[in-house]
Amino acid sequence: MTKKATRRGILTAGGTALLCGLAGCSTSVSTSSTPNNATESGEAAATTESRTTAVYEATIDAVVLVRTASGRGTGLLIDGSHIVTNAHVVGNADEVAVRFREGEWSVASVLGVDPHSDLAALGAESVPETADPVAFSDKSATVGQRVLAIGNPYNLDGTVTTGIISGVNRSIPAPSGYDIPDAIQTDAPVNPGNSGGPLVAVDDGEVLAVINSGGGDNIGFGISAALAQRVVPELIETGDYDHPYMGISFEDVTPIVADANGLEEPRGLLVVRLDPDGPAVGTLQPSTDIEIVGNRRVTVGGDILLDIDGTPIKTSEDLGSYLALQTRPGDVVDLRVWRDGEEMTVPFELGKRPL
C-alpha cells in the first residue's frame, strides 16, 4: 500500500465514523476492536514519521550554511545557482561563503538585498550535483498545516524541527523599520541560525516561507512564499525591489471610533496622519480633531479606508498584504472611503516606499 493510499484509507475510515455519529446510527463494538485501533494508530504514526523523514531528505540538499564575517545563518537553493536567505543574515556583505550538506564550500555573490522584506538573493560560483533546488509553494498556508523548519541553529547544521502553521497574514518588523506583511507564524522551534532557512509543508514538500525570526513560547515567523516569489526574482535581475507606498498612518476603527465618525458599524482603517512628502497628500484626508467620549480620547474627522479595488480592508494586515502581493509603485487603485458622512471612491496612485 502506498503512503497516499494509507492516508486516504485513514481519512475515509474517520469520515465514515463521523457521518454515522451525525446520522444517529449505531455501530457494534467488541473488545476485539481495541487491538485493531491500536494498530491503526501505530500505522498512522509510522506514516507521519516516514513522511517527515522523506520531506527532510528531499529538502536538505538544498539547504546551505551561510557564513559572513559577522555571523552565520541559513540559505535555500531555488535553482541551479541562486540562493535565498535573509537580508539581516548577509548585512552589508558583497560576498559570503556557503556550505552544502556534504561539506562543499562555495563563494556566493550578494546579488540583491531588500531590507523591507528581509530577503536577499545570492549567486553561488559552484553548486554540487547532489544539491537539488526546491520550489516555493503557490498554495496559501493554512492554520494547522504540519511543517518542518530546517536550518543551522547554534552551529548545529541540518537541524529539523516540526510543528504546525499557527497563524497567517501576520505583520512582523523588517530591518528597514517598516513591517513585513503576509508573514506566517509557526510553533516549530526556531532559533538563532535558522534565519533564511525553509519552512516546508509536510504534505507536499514545498516551501511555504523563508524563516525570519523565532523566540520563546514556540512562536516563530517566516516570510511567505507569495512575497518571496515577487521579491527574489527582481533581486536576482536588478539587485533591488520597489515596494508600493501610500504614506499614511492609521488606526483600527473600533465601535467607539465608528460611532464618533458617523459609521454604522466598525470597519476599515481611520487615516490619522499623512507623510508630507508621500502620495496621499491632496488625495486622502487625515483626522482633524480629538473628541472626548466618556473618559476616552477618540480620533475623528479623517477618511476611513473601507476597501481597495473592491477588497474589504478589515485590518492593517489586510491592507499590507494587498499592497505587497497585488500592487506595484505607479499603480492606480480605487479606494473606497468614508468621508464627511458618506462613502465615495477615490483614485489613488501608489508611490515607492522610501528607505
Q: Please write the tens of the pLDDT for every residue from 69-112.
A: 989 999 999 999 999 999 999 999 999 999 999 999 999 999 99
pLDDT of residue 237: 98
Position 97: which residue type? A
Contacts of 347 (CB under 8 A, 6+ apart): 283, 332, 333, 334, 335
132-175: pLDDT as tens digits: 999 999 999 999 999 999 999 998 999 999 999 999 999 999 99
In degrees, rounded to 5, the angle at the alpha carbon of residue 280 between the alpha carbons of residues 276 and 282 is: 85
Cβ distance 63 to 56 under 8 Å?
no
Please tell us whether the domain made up of 146-238 is placed in CATH 2.40.10.10.
yes
Residue in the structure block whose three cell numbers are 564550500: 105
Question: Mean pLDDT across the stretch 175-199?
Answer: 96
Spatial CA neighbour of 86 closest among 59, 124, 113: 113
Structure-model confidence comparison of residues 279 and 29, the more confident one: 279
Active site residue 118: yes
The CATH topology of domain 244-352 is Pdz3 Domain (2.30.42)
**For residue 345, what are the CA distances in angstroms to 278, 286, 306, 321, 335?**
20, 16, 10, 21, 6
Share of the chain above pLDDT 90, in %: 82
Cβ distance 134 to 194 under 8 Å?
no
- Which of 82, 88, 116, 243 is catalytic? The answer is 88
- Which of 61, 82, 116, 118 is catalytic? The answer is 118
Cβ distance 300 to 261 under 8 Å?
yes
Active site residue 182: no
272-282: pLDDT as tens digits: 999 999 999 99
244-273: pLDDT as tens digits: 999 999 999 999 999 999 999 999 999 999
According to DSSP, the residues that pair with 67 across neighbouring strands are: 72, 97
pLDDT of residue 105: 98
Question: Mean pLDDT across the stretch 202-226?
Answer: 93
Residue in the structure block whose three cell numbers are 545557482: 81
pLDDT of residue 11: 31
Cβ distance 137 to 201 under 8 Å?
yes
The domain spans of the chain are: 146-238, 244-352
DSSP 120-141: EEEEES---TT-----B-SSPP
Label residue 48 by pLDDT band (50, 70, 90): low
Spatial CA neighbour of 269 closest among 287, 281, 289, 283: 287
Active site residue 176: no
- Which of 195, 224, 287, 321 is catalytic? The answer is 195
Name the pTM for this structure. Answer: 0.85
Contacts of 50 (CB under 8 A, 6+ apart): 3
Cβ distance 322 to 307 under 8 Å?
no
Spatial CA neighbour of 64 closest among 83, 91, 81: 83
